[in-house]
Structure 1
Amino acid sequence: MLVNIGMYERMIAEALHFGVLFYLFGLLSLLAGLAIVNLHNRWQMDWRVIITVLGWLMTIGGIIRIVLPQVAIAAGSTIYGGRASTIIVALLVGALGAFLSLKGYVRRA
């Protein structure tokens, strides 16, 4: 994302317009979130709770995109307000992905 930040900014701006794609993103987020919650609803106080929280956030985000699209568009416009926020989100997503990959693929002693 950081290498092609201009392209991602255009994609985000285009995705924040209500339409069929916005509804489809909400539906896919809802289905993926429900799958995660159904398969991994563990509230243990270790790193695995991150997966459960992400599943619930995806479920709630999908519902909001489908039922209250104006709220979702307003929130997305606030979060992705400029280049700096896009860079911060990209770094956070990359760090979270690296952390979960490390935890998921490193052999335990």
Structure 2
Amino acid sequence: MDRALFPARLVGPTFIAIAFGMLINLGMYESIIAEALHAGILFYLSGLLSLLAGLAIINLHNTWRADWRVIITVLGWSMTIGGAIRIVALQIAIWIGSAIYRGRASTLVVAAIIGVLGALLSFKGYVGRA
């Protein structure tokens, strides 16, 4: 099996569930995001989990090819870098997060992006041929 299929099969459905959750519970997700953008144990744990998941993806699949598989590599590196920043440079991470999440419109855009990525990865992981 292509090494890209395993993370695609994990991340794809997870992203779809997150996107639907964000759209169905928009107000609650806005509150969660606002609450999460404060230094504290939740922020630290999200960084730790993101770092670990990103490193797992990079160690499993770190291939820079000009096809759909590069999405997995970019996600892995993004999670690793984002997690490390949340652990090491809390104030910078909070500043970046606050700049990105500015209310309902940004939450909807993030939900749409996550949903599209989830659908693409799920399709490639379960239906499409690598």
Indicate the percent of aligned positions where both proteins have the same amino acid.
73
* Cα offsets for 1:26-56 (capped at 9, x unmatched): 0100000000000101111110010001000
TM-score normalised to the size of structure 1? 0.96
More helix by share: 2
Equivalent pairs counted in the alignment come to: 109
Q: In the aligned structure 2, how far is the partner of 1:107 from the partner of 1:26? A: 32
**1:6 pairs with 2:27:** yes
State the match for 2:82 in structure 1: 61
Query: AA paired with 2:104?
Result: R
Select the structure with the greater relative contact order (CA < 8 A; seq sep ≥ 6).
Answer: 2
After superposition, the CA RMSD in angstroms is: 1.2
The secondary structure found in structure 1 opposite 2:24 is coil
**1:39 pairs with 2:60:** yes
Runs of 4+, deviation exceeding 4 Å: none
| Pairs within 5 Å for 1:1-109 | 1-108=22-129
Query: AA paired with 2:66?
Result: M
Q: In the aligned structure 2, how far is the partner of 1:77 from the partner of 1:107? A: 37
Gaps of 5+ in 2: 1-21
> 1:3: Cα distance to partner?
1.4
